[in-house]
Amino acid sequence: GAVVSQHPSWVICKSGTSVKIECRSLDFQATTMFWYRQFPKQSLMLMATSNEGSKATYEQGVEKDKFLINHASLTLSTLTVTSAHPEDSSFYICSAPRDSNYGYTFGSGTRLTVV
């Protein structure tokens, strides 16, 4: 149980275009969704926290106008990378908390390549 479906798994886009990444909780309600980014050989870095029905909270240094987060329902959170540039190429992954014993459920990640 407690599956988060993330898609697309990978995407290649041209500089200047926008890319939307979706995370859906399939068998539970995710009131909170965390969005992470991971560059090669680096750790997962929290970008922002989305909460259903309210504005997302962004970590320091993350541009909220560039990384648009929407959490319109209890089962869907989206991250849109606007006007993507090659330096935005990374592994983006979402995660929803479960409980203190079971940690967090992760989506399968999206590998974004901007050319």
Partner 1 sequence: RKEVEQDPGPFNVPEGATVAFNCTYSNSASQSFFWYRQDCRKEPKLLMSVYSSGNEDGRFTAQLNRASQYISLLIRDSKLSDSATYLCVVNRGSGNMLTFGGGTRLMVKP
Contact set with partner 1 (CB under 8 A): 32, 34, 36, 42-46, 49, 91, 93, 95, 97, 100-104, 106-109, 111
CA separation for the pair 16, 83 (Å, rounded): 4
Q: Which CB sits closer to partner 1, 52 or 82?
A: 52
Shortest separation between residue 47's beta carbon and partner 1, angstroms: 12
Whose CA is closest to 12, among 73, 75, 68, 86?
86
Query: Which tokens in the block code for residue 17?
Result: 């275009």
Q: At CA 51, angle to CA 50 and CA 57, rounded to 5?
A: 45
Shortest separation between residue 88's beta carbon and partner 1, angstroms: 18
Q: Which CB sits closer to partner 1, 16 or 39?
A: 39
Tally DSSP H helices, then E strands, for the chain: 0, 11
Shortest separation between residue 44's beta carbon and partner 1, angstroms: 4
Q: Whose structure tokens read 């680096």?
A: 42
Q: Which CB sits closer to partner 1, 44 or 76?
A: 44
Q: Which CB sits closer to partner 1, 44 or 68?
A: 44
